A and B are shown apart, each in its own frame.
Chain A
């Protein structure tokens, strides 16, 4: 047994309202630079839909992830080492910018510069690649809320698999949002595809990163990742990906997407797993067995033997404790309500999802029946085969039983908790019907419904013993300055990278855990602009001038 720790995430899809706040804050934090205009480390897709980039899940087309060869051994679907090197001059499976979208801006200047004229001037869209006028035909969320789906829905690769079912009925009854970040897989096929060996998995927390100094832009990771979560920065010529906000995680803060999530649907925690078992689990012959196999790779942090092995592997004591409190372990292995996205890619993804029950509830409610009655809900889950088969294509390689069970657990929780909330006698037969005890069901309710910040995010800080001297992380990250600082001799982004200061994140944590909303030291000297009547310049409106400045006219 080789114990390793992994930062993992679970998203509760029932709570996602598709507001894209996670995407926007992530973009502001990480990819608001030239070259990454089209890059969304976090994106939210409407399902059914094509996803981003378009039809990324169709691995017969993109050849991402792993597959078993005839001898039953794990092989990269896009071809082995020799094939990768032979196609290095032109990656045959790389998506083009049109599969994402051509980034653009608007010619805002004409709005103010235009001479007096009969018609209102218009800001025309300009391509950020060529600077020319362009026609906008697609972007990352073009089919948001099933917009235009009548024309494009047929391209959804998951829908194709259950195509014999009636499509339009399905479209009317069923829609949900799927937020996606990098999966930080246990068996990452992007890293395996990288000719330079620049993509690595951190031993301490399993975060998968691209070493920007070692990346040579061979582009094999982009086609190697089945989730298409590695992006090519077309200005610097290097691959970039979701970093799991490692500078925040290292000081115990959740990722930006989780921190800003309006629905509070994200959970972050540590998972202990047995690294020796990963390969065997990923090689499981039956695709339907992969979900179960991956769950068995995870180790029970309460098991004394695991704790001993973890200690032997150099995992600090407080990390093991964090693993015991991990909401991820509870959701994945204790309550078993979270499922991995596309286990059939055999990468052992570590961002799991609680499938949405809401479409089922909505249907029951529309029929006028009690949507919180166990019998009604269970019957509806059994009757609504189409949405459930669709969820199964996403989360369990098409096997319906695990999705069915999860939805029944969620339904059982609704009716069990209603009895309690209505002051009735709790009905122990409800949890029993889905194989849970009353206590477990209540714990699950607490975690899913009312968990506080500290329960949703159990993140042990990084263990650099000289943590107080953490000043900046120079190498792992790509954050080139938005403007200037990175205008090196050889074009955009060349030269020595600007390190991210961990101090900033430490400061951020201080601010977020402080008692007051904001307490600047010079608060008493400032003017509250909300109360200012706009007349004159009250004391404190502008910073005090220094003595000699005042003397100059």
Chain B
């Protein structure tokens, strides 16, 4: 069972994630957008969207630190477990609360503002479900697991994180996840399902973060590109006889 849940499923999801994005980009560049609904409604979005997105950036940063940086590295620079724990919990709580509040505003908005609700696709709804679940479970792990230590003490840096690095190195150690508390297990499973859904939702806009804007010239000039005028191959240069 462990092998299935913590080796097979994650790799399947990862493959879907990678291949899915490749396919979506090839098939559907036109549909690759944020599908912003700001035109319909502004007042709630003005609060909800920045709260959610900036919170999410913090959450992603926190995950990168927590999952990818081994305990030994932080110890090596003189950061004890206690200190790390404080930084992680405070940072995580701050980002987490921002995300959850932002998400609550956005979901409320999506449900109650008529035009926004009409513009919501089925895929959006499925995505919202998984995204919300992953966020709520993540918050639960932070609040219940790390602050109130419900269900016993658990240092994810010795378990989940190690498993995740082994997973990325294609040497997965499923037993490490098997020993993790149920909250972490559920969070990981929901998150991987979200990754599998990712390329088929509007979440693809994450990969369009326009960092190039900071360096490109203001005005873009482009040639009409006569060679590419037609999507058809150029006609043969001779006429068919007869």
Contacts and interface: CB of A to CB of B under 8 A. Distances in A.
Interface string A456-487: 00000011111001111111000010000000
A212 interface: yes
Interface in B220-239: 220-224, 226, 228-232, 234-235
Interface residues of B, number: 53
A90 B30 contact: no
A235 B120 CA distance: 10
Interface in A195-224: 195-197, 199-205, 211-219
Interface string B109-152: 00000110011010100000000000000000000000000000
B231 to A, nearest CB: 4
B38 interface: yes
A81 interface: yes
Interface string A65-87: 00000000000100001101101
A131 interface: yes
Nearest to B122: A491
A217 B38 CA distance: 10
Contact of A202 (B31, B205, B222): B222
A90 to B, nearest CB: 5
A129 B216 contact: no
A92 interface: yes
A217 to B, nearest CB: 4
B69 to A, nearest CB: 26
B49 to A, nearest CB: 4
Nearest to B210: A195
Contacts of B42: 90, 94, 96
Interface in B184-237: 200, 202, 205, 208, 210, 212-214, 216, 218-224, 226, 228-232, 234-235
Contact of A129 (B38, B114, B228): B114
Given A129-B118, A203-B224, A219-B38, A192 B219 contact: yes
A213 B29 contact: yes
Given A203-B224, A488-B28, A129 B40 contact: yes
B212 to A, nearest CB: 6
B114 A215 contact: no
B31 A217 contact: no
A493 interface: yes
Contacts of A132: 114
Contacts of B32: 213, 216
Contacts of A131: 118
A199 B53 contact: no
Contact of B223 (A204, A236, A490, A495): A204
B31 A493 contact: yes
B50 A89 contact: yes
A196 B31 contact: no
A172 interface: no
A493 B30 contact: yes
B219 to A, nearest CB: 5
A466 B39 contact: no
B241 to A, nearest CB: 19
7 contacts: A90-B38, A90-B45, A90-B46, A196-B210, A202-B221, A232-B39, A471-B231
Interface of A: 76, 81-82, 84-85, 87-92, 94, 96-97, 127, 129-132, 187-188, 191-192, 194-197, 199-205, 211-219, 232, 234-238, 462-466, 469-475, 480, 488-491, 493-497, 499, 502
Which 6 residue pairs across A and B have the least CB separation, nearest first?
A: A494-B31, A195-B210, A474-B231, A192-B218, A130-B114, A237-B35
